[in-house]
Structure 1
Amino acid sequence: MLKTIRAALILGVITLTAFGASSAFAAPLKVVASFTVIADFAKNVGGDRVAITTIVGPDGDAHVYEPSPADAVAMAKADIVLVNGLHFEGFLQRLVDASATKASIVTLTKGVTPIDFKPEFADADAAEGAGTGGGKTVTDPHAFQSIANARIYVKNIAEAFCTADSDGCVSYQTNAAAYTKKLDALEGEVRAAIQSIPEAKRVVITSHDAFGYFEHEYGLIFLAPQGISTDSEPSAADVAKLVEQVKQDKAAAIFVENITNPRLIEQIASETGIKVGGTLYSDALSQPDGPGSTYIDMMHNNIRQIKGAILGS
C-alpha cells in the first residue's frame, strides 16, 4: 500500500512539474505597443502567442499623451516594447525611465526612408522635438501612412518576436507573410481609388500634417493648419495663410481627424466655402465598433471618405 501511495505521489509530482513547465512555456509574450496602429500590426503577426497592451488607445493623440501609472506597470512587465520612433511618441523616454523596464525597445521605422516635413510649420514642431527648427528640415514621423512602410513595420515586428520567442518564429513569419499579402491588396485598392480622381481635384485639407507619406506615395496633396504635431495651436497668420492657399489651389475637400478638435477645420470650411467631407483616421485607430478599428479598415475608410467627398460618390 505504501509503495502504491509513494508511486502515486511521485507520478503526481512529475505530472505537476511537466504541467508547470508546459504552462510556463505556453505563456504569451508580453508586448507593449505605443499606439493602436502598432498594436494592430502586432496582433496580426503574433496571434495567440502574444498578449498586447496598448499605451495610447483608440482615437488617442500620441503627440500630447501623458502616461499613467498603469502604463509604467505594463512597461515594467513587458518582454518587448514596440514603438514608432522618429519622435512620434513624445512621452516615450519619460515612460521608459519611470518604468525602469528591462524590455527590448524595438523601433519599427528601422529601414524606412524618412521624408522631411513641409517647412512652413517647421519652427512650431521643432519645439516638441521633431526637428531642429530655424528653417532646417524636420522629419515626418507618420511613416505608417504609407502601406509600403507598413510592410516594413510588420517585418520588424516578426523579427523582434522571433528573437524573443524562437519557438514561435515559424508562426510569426507565416502570420506576417499572410498579413503582408493583405497589405499588398490594400495598396492596389488605394492606388486604383486615387487614379479615379482627376489630378486637378487631388487637393484636400486635414487638421494636422499626418499624411505626408500618403501624399508622397500616392499623389494626393494634403494641406493642414497644424504641423506634424498637435502639441500647439496654429497662429491666426498660419490659418489665414492656409485659407489663402486653399482658395488659390482650389482644394476639393476638407476633413476633420479623429484625434483633433474639429473647431479649426470648421472655421476654415466656413471661410473657404468647402463642405466638411467627413472624418479621417490619422494617428490612431477608431473604437472597436468604429469604421477604422484596424489598420486595413482605417485605410479603407480614409480613401473612401476622400474619394466620396471629391467625386460626390
Structure 2
Amino acid sequence: MQKKLIFALLATLPMLAHAAQKLPVVASFSILGDVVQQIGGDRVEVRTLVGPDQDAHVFQPRPQDVKTLAAARLFVVNGLGFEGWMPRMSKATGYKGTTLVASEGIKPLKSEEEEKDHDHAGHDHGNFDPHVWNNPQNVRVWTRNIAASLSKLDPEGRDYYAQRAAAYDKQLADLDRWAAQTFGQLPVAKRKVITGHDAFGYLARRYQITFHAPQGLSTESEASAKQVAGLIRQIKASGIKAVFVENISDRRLVDQIARESGASVDGKLYSDALSRDAAARSYTSLFRHNVEQLSAGMKKN
C-alpha cells in the first residue's frame, strides 16, 4: 500500500512541475498587461514595462526591464508606433522570443497632425493614431490575437485560453453597448470635450464625440502659443464646460486653458495607463470611469 502511494506521488510530480511553470509574458504597458492577464489567467506570469499612472510616450527602459524582457517567451505590444522605444529595447536584449503586435487586424485611424497647422515638436506616432484601446471593439481584436498567441506557445492551455477569451469578449461587448446607450442620452451638439493630449480619437469616432486637445497624439509634443490661444477662443465661442486632465500628463496646461477660458476642470480621465488607485485598476474599470466622467461633464455643455 505504501509503495503504491509513493508511485502515485511520483507520477504526479511532472504534472505539478508543469503547472508551476507559468508562461513568462511581458506587456509593453499597463492596459495591455491587464488584458493579457484576463486571458492568460493562472497559466501566465505577466510583467508590464510601463506601469500604472506611467506615460509610455516618454518611457526609457531600465537595466531591469532589459532583463525582464530577455526572460520572456512572449512580448506583447500595441504597435502603430505607440512603443517607439521597442525596437531599440528588443535589440539591446537580443530578444529571441515571440513578439505579438496586438493591434494587428485593427483598422487604424489616420493621424490628423499631418493635416493640421501644428507646430508640435519632438516625438510623434507617424501616420496613424495608436490609441486603439479607447474603443472596446478594438480590445476585442486584442483579445483574439492574445488568445491565439498564448495557445500557440502553450498548446495544452488552448481550451483554457479560449474559454477566458470568450468570457472577456462578452464583457467588452456589454461595455460597448452600455457606453453607446450612455452617450446616446446626450444630443450630439453637447458631446464636446477638452483633454490634455489627443488620445481619444477612437472613442470619439465610436460614440460621436468631439475632442479638443492642446497636445497632439504624444504627450511629448509641445503646443504652441498660437494653438493654445485658438483653443481658448474656441471654448469661449462654443461654451464647452467639459474639461479634463489625464492621469499621465502634467495638468498645468489644461489648468491654464480652463482658467483663461472661464471653464473649470471637471475631473480626471485615464487615457494611456491604468491607475494605482481603485478608479482604473483594470481596462474595464478604466473605460467605465471615463464614460461616466465624460457623460457627466458633457451634460454641462
Q: Same fold (TM over 0.5)?
A: yes
Match of 1:214 in 2: 203
- Opposite residue 67 of structure 1, the aligned amino acid is P
Match of 1:302 in 2: 290
Distance (Å, rounded) in 2 between the aligned partners of 1:14 and 1:76 = 37
Residue 239 (str. 1) matches residue 228 (str. 2): yes
SS at 2:278 equivalent = coil
SS at 1:63 equivalent = helix
2:119 touches 2:224 (CA, 8 Å); kept in 1?
Answer: no
SS at 1:124 equivalent = coil
2:67 to 69, 73, 81: 73
Q: How does 1:47-66 map to 2 (within 5 A)?
A: 47-66=41-60
Match of 1:128 in 2: 123
Q: How does 1:247-266 map to 2 (within 5 A)?
A: 247-266=236-255
Match of 1:100 in 2: 94
* Count of aligned pairs between the two proteins: 296
Deviations 1:166-208 (A, max 9, x none): 0001000100000111111111111011111222211100000
- Opposite residue 13 of structure 2, the aligned amino acid is F
2:256 to 255, 260, 267: 267
Q: CA RMSD in A?
A: 2.0
What is the deviation of 1:115? Answer: 0.5
In the superposition, the TM-score normalised over structure 1's length comes to: 0.89
What is the deviation of 1:248? Answer: 3.1
Q: How does 1:192-211 map to 2 (within 5 A)?
A: 192-211=181-200
Instruction: Give % identity.
Output: 40
1:121 touches 1:226 (CA, 8 Å); kept in 2?
Answer: no
- Opposite residue 91 of structure 2, the aligned amino acid is D
2:152 to 159, 163, 166: 163
2:69 touches 2:93 (CA, 8 Å); kept in 1?
Answer: yes
Distance (Å, rounded) in 1 between the aligned partners of 2:290 and 2:99 = 30
What is the deviation of 1:246? Answer: 2.3
2:73 touches 2:98 (CA, 8 Å); kept in 1?
Answer: yes
Distance (Å, rounded) in 2 between the aligned partners of 1:65 and 1:279 = 21
- Opposite residue 282 of structure 1, the aligned amino acid is S
SS at 2:47 equivalent = strand
Deviations 1:55-92 (A, max 9, x none): 00001100001111111111000010000000101211
SS at 1:140 equivalent = coil
Distance (Å, rounded) in 2 between the aligned partners of 1:60 and 1:262 = 14
Largest Rg, 1 or 2: 1
Q: Alpha carbons of 1:271 and 1:160: their partners in 2 closer, same or farther (altered >3 Å)? A: same
Q: Alpha carbons of 1:122 and 1:101: their partners in 2 closer, same or farther (altered >3 Å)? A: farther
1:203 touches 1:249 (CA, 8 Å); kept in 2?
Answer: no
Q: Gaps spanning 5+ residues in structure 1: where? A: 1-7, 132-137
Q: Alpha carbons of 1:224 and 1:40: their partners in 2 closer, same or farther (altered >3 Å)? A: same
Distance (Å, rounded) in 1 between the aligned partners of 2:17 and 2:153 = 17
Deviations 1:28-67 (A, max 9, x none): 1101010111111111100100000000000110000111
Q: Alpha carbons of 1:121 and 1:226: their partners in 2 closer, same or farther (altered >3 Å)? A: farther
What is the deviation of 1:232? Answer: 2.9
SS at 2:268 equivalent = strand
Distance (Å, rounded) in 2 between the aligned partners of 1:246 and 1:118 = 20
Distance (Å, rounded) in 2 between the aligned partners of 1:179 and 1:228 = 28
Q: Gaps spanning 5+ residues in structure 2: where? A: none
Distance (Å, rounded) in 2 between the aligned partners of 1:272 and 1:253 = 12
What is the deviation of 1:249? Answer: 3.2
Deviations 1:129-148 (A, max 9, x none): 522xxxxxx21000111111
Match of 1:281 in 2: 270
